[in-house]
Amino acid sequence: MNTNTNRPEKSSSGIPDSSLGLIIQRGGEELILEKISDRFTVRSKFNISTRELAQNFLGSWRSTIPTSRLELFRVAPSSLEMAMSQARSSKNVAFASHVYQIKGNCGNKVYLGDQITIEFDMRVDSARINTIAAKFGLILYKAIDGLPNTFAFKVSEQATQNPIKITNRLQGLPEVVASEPNIIIHQASYYKPRDPLYFQQWYLNHNGGNQLAYGSHISVEKAWDITRGVRSVTVAVVDDSFDLNHPDFMGSGKIVAPLDLKDKDFLPMPAQKQPSHGTACAGIAIAEENGTGISGIAPGCAFMPIRTSGFLDDESIEAIFDWAIEKGASVISCSWGASAVYFPLSLRQRAAITRAATKGRNGLGCIILFAAGNANRPINGTVYERGWVKNIVAGKTRWLSGFAVHPDAIAVSASTSLNKKAAYSNWGTNISLCAPSNNAQPGMWFEQTGFVYSQPAIAASLPGKGMFTTDQLGAAGYTKGDFTAYFGGTSSATPVVAGVAALILSVNPDLTVVQVKRILEETADKIVDLEADAQLGLRYGSYDDNGHSKWFGYGKVNALSAVKAAQKLRANAIVPTKFIEGRNNAVLSIPDNDKQGIKSRINVAANGNVSDIQVSVNITHEFLSDLEIYLIAPNNQRVLLQSRTLGRRQDLLTTYCVQTHPVLENLLNQSAKGNWQLWVVDTAPQDVGKLKNWELALSIHS
C-alpha cells in the first residue's frame, strides 16, 4: 500500500481523483474544465413544465438545448449544489449535470449529454465489453460506423458518477483505447455583414469598375457554357434555416430531402423574426435560374436543406452527415463552426465526417466544405492576445477549428473584390483555397459577450464590395426585400466553392473527393497580397515552394478552369499496366519525443506513374497516440497516414489505401520511380516503440 499521504489519490488513468470531473478526453487530448457557478441542466422523465421544474429547484429556467432535450436553469451560486442534489434525487428527473466551460475558451459554455463513446482494443470481445459497461452503469446505444470496436453508450440511472468521471476512469483500463463524453456547444455562423448595398453579383463575373480588381470574380459565365449543373448532383447546405418559399429555390426537382434538426421535422424554415443565414448561403451556391432574382453558381443542381439545432454535439454531427449520405448529397457546404477558440473534434465527429467523405456518393465520397472563420486568427496555431473586450481572450492563446482542419474537409478562406485578403478571414496551413466575399472588421461571437471585434482594432478603411444573394422573404431577413447585398464572411465564400464543386461533378460524376479537391486547388488563381495584415502585421499573401499561401490556400477558386480540368480527366481514364510490391523488414527503434523521428525506405525501380497505392504498417509502441506516421514520395511530397488518434493501443498492424484514406490520392499520377519513405515521429515523452516492418504496393500506368 502506498503510505505517502502527500500524494493525491489517482485513478488508473493517472488523473488525480480530485480532477476526475474536470478533465475531458477529446480528440486524443485532455481539456481542462471549469464549473459554471450558477447554472445546471436537467432532462425530465415526464412531460413536466419548465415552470414546475424551476419551482422544485428554486431556480429560473433559461432555455432548452434541443440536441439532448436538456433544460437549462439558473440559480444563485450558493444554491447550486443543493439544487443539483434535489434534481438528482427527484423522481421526475432522468439526468442532471453541471454546466462547464473549457479553460482558456473565453467563457463559452459546455453542456454535458448522457452519452459516452468508447473505443476498445481490437482484442476485447463483446462479453468483456458488456462486463465493463455494466460495471459503470452504461447501456449500449450503437456501434460507430468507421471506427472498429467503438461504441456509443448511454449513462443509465444506475451509474454512480457523471459521464466525465466515467470516461476518465475508463481511460485507465487496459481494454480501452479511448473514451470521450458527448459534450454540447453553441454553433457559430461565419457571417460578416457590411454596408453599403451593391445590387450585383460581381463575384460571378465582372468587367471591372468601382472597388473591382481585374479577375476578382470566379469566371463562372464561361463555365456555364459547359454546364450549369444537373439535378443528379445535390448540394446539401447545412445551416440555421432556409426560406423554402423563396422563388429562387423553386423548380421541378430542386429541393430534395429537407431536414429540420431543431424542430424535428422536414420543414427547415426560419423563425418569423430572425434572419436566415442559410437562405443567403444557399442562394450563392444553387439559386435557380428562373428569370427572376439571382442565379447561383450551380443553378441546375438540386438543393438539400439541412437545418441545425444551433448546438453541436456528437449526435447532431452524426445526424447531419449520415442524412447527407443516406439521401444522396454530392456536396456538403458548412458555413459555421463551434463557438469556441479551441475545439478539437471528438472521435464520433471525426468519424461522421470521414464516413461522408468515403461512403457518400456510392463510395466516391461527398465533397465537404467548411468555412475558415472570421476572427483573423489561425485555424490551428497560437497568437498572443491583448485588448479584447473584458479580456475575453488574453495572453498566449491556442486557436483550433476542428471542423476546418479535418483532413477530409476543404477549408475555405475569403478574398475581396479587390483580390486582397478579407480583413476578417482566418488563415493557416490547412486552408485549401479562397473565394470572393466582402471585407469587414474581424470578430467573433462568444456566449459571454455576444459578438465582439478582434483586437487590436483596425483603424484603416476596409474597401470591398458585399455579396448579393437571396434573403428571407419580407422584412424578417437582413434587409426588407427578398435579397441582400451585404452578406459576407467566410460564410459566403464557402458556398461559392460548393457551387463550383457541384459544377465539377456535373461534368464528371465519377471523380473522388481527393480528385475534386485537387482540381479545385490546381486550377485556382494565384492572387497575391503583399501588404501587411492591418491587425497583426503578418504577410502571408504570397506562395511557398508548394504553391500554398496561409491566407489564400492554393489560390482563388476558378470555375471555368476547374470544370475544364474535370472534363479532361474524364476523357483520360487511366488503366494500370504494372503492379509493384516492396517490403522493408529492418526493425527501427522510434526515438522518444523526437521531431526528427525515423525514416525507412523502399526503392521502386520501375518507370511509370502511380494509379493506386497501398501502405501496410507494423508498429509496436507503449502509447501509439504519441505517433504521427507519414508517407513521403520520391518527389518529397508528404501525406499524413496516421494522426495522434490511436489512444492507448500498443500494436498497430494496419493497411492504408485510397479507399479508406483519401489523402493518398495526393500521391497519384506522379512518378513511381525512386525512394519511398515511411516517416514515424514520436511527439510526446515517456513511451517508446519500434517500427517492425512496412510494405508498399503500387499500381503503375505509363
The lowest-confidence range among 17-21, 128-132, 195-199 is 195-199
Is residue 613 assigned to a domain?
yes
Lowest mean pLDDT among 242-251, 477-486, 494-503, 530-539: 477-486
Q: Are residues 349 and 494 in the same domain?
A: yes
Distance in angstroms (rounded) separating the CA atoms of residues 285 and 497 = 8
Q: Find the CATH number of the domain harbouring 625.
A: 2.60.120.260
Lowest mean pLDDT among 59-63, 453-457, 626-630, 672-676: 59-63
118 shares its domain with 41: yes
Q: Is residue 453 part of a domain?
A: no
| Contact present, 360 and 509 (Cβ < 8 Å) | no
Q: Give per-residue pLDDT as tens, 640-686.
A: 999 887 877 788 988 998 877 878 888 888 899 999 999 999 988 88
Could you tell me the residue range of the domain that residue 404 belongs to? 190-374+400-445+458-570
Cα separation, 400 vs 394, whole angstroms: 16
**Of 546, 570, 594, the domain-final residue:** 570
Confidence tier at 573 by pLDDT (50, 70, 90): low
Radius of gyration over every alpha carbon of the chain, rounded to an integer in angstroms:
26
Report for 69-73, 275-279, 363-367, 450-454: range of highest mean pLDDT: 363-367
Identify whether 382 is part of a domain. Answer: no
Residue 2, in any domain of the structure = no
- Domain stop point among 187, 217, 235: 187
Q: Which of 512, 546, 570 is the last residue of a domain?
A: 570
Task: Tell whether 659 and 594 lie within a shared domain.
Answer: yes
Which CATH number do you get for residue 180? 3.30.70.80
Give 135-139's long-range contacts (Cβ < 8 A, gap of 24+). Answer: 136/161, 136/166, 136/169, 136/170, 137/166, 138/166
* Helix or strand run (H / E) with residue 221: helix 220-224
- Residues 320, 251 share a domain: yes
- At residue 9, does pLDDT exceed 80? no
Q: Has residue 384 been placed in a domain? A: no
- Tell me which of 198 and 251 has the higher pLDDT: 251
Residues 57 and 115 in one domain: yes
Q: Are residues 222 and 138 in the same domain?
A: no
Residues 77 and 158 in one domain: yes
Is 12 among the domain residues?
no
pLDDT band of 14, cuts 50, 70, 90: low
Query: What value does the mean pLDDT take over residues 78-100?
Result: 87
Residue 196 has pLDDT above 70, yes or no: no
Q: Which of 366, 287, 369 is nearest to 334 (CA)?
A: 369
What torsion do the CA atoms of 376, 381, 384, 387 make, to the nearest 10 degrees?
A: 30
Residue 529 lies in a domain: yes
pLDDT of residue 7: 28
Query: Picking from 223-227, 294-298, 665-669, which range would have the lowest pLDDT averaged per residue?
Result: 665-669
CA angle 67, 283, 369 (to 5 degrees): 55
Q: Are residues 438 and 516 in the same domain?
A: yes
Q: Verify that 411 and 496 share a domain, yes or no.
A: yes
Q: Is residue 391 part of a domain?
A: no
In angstroms, what CA-CA distances link 629 with 259, 602, 634?
Answer: 39, 15, 17
pTM metric for this prediction: 0.81
474 shares its domain with 547: yes
- Joined grid coordinates for residue 69: 432535450
Q: Which of 207-216, 303-312, 478-487 has the lowest mean pLDDT?
A: 478-487
Q: Do 67 and 112 reside in the same domain of the chain?
A: yes
- CATH code for position 410: 3.40.50.200
Instruction: Give the total number of structural domains in the chain.
Output: 3
User: Which tens digit of pLDDT belongs to each residue from 386-445?
Assistant: 999 999 999 999 999 999 999 999 999 999 999 999 999 999 999 999 999 999 999 998
Residues 548 and 409 in one domain: yes
User: Measuring CA to CA, how many Å separate 593 from each of 527, 600, 612, 632?
Assistant: 39, 18, 33, 21
Mapping DSSP to helix (H, G, I), strand (E, B) and coil, where does residue 657 land? strand
* AA letter at 109: K
Distances (CA, A) of 219 to 35, 204, 416, 470: 51, 6, 15, 21
